[in-house]
Amino acid sequence: MKQVDSGVYIGDIEDAGSGERLVGAGITAVVKLTHAEPDAGYPER
């Protein structure tokens, strides 16, 4: 996952499913730009 602007990150499908990384970066929403879901699914929080 790469921060491209203040509060804006770009990552791959596995980044989107990593709850710990999302919370650690302060991310509260994920915009889905794919039809597939991460292998582990999206985190509940």
Residue 45: the pLDDT is 62
**1-45 per-position pLDDT tens digit:** 889 998 888 888 888 888 888 888 888 888 877 677 778 777 776
Judge whether 43 and 19 are in contact, CB under 8 Å: yes
* Cβ atoms of residues 43 and 17 within 8 Å: yes
**Residue appearing with tokens 């491209």:** 4
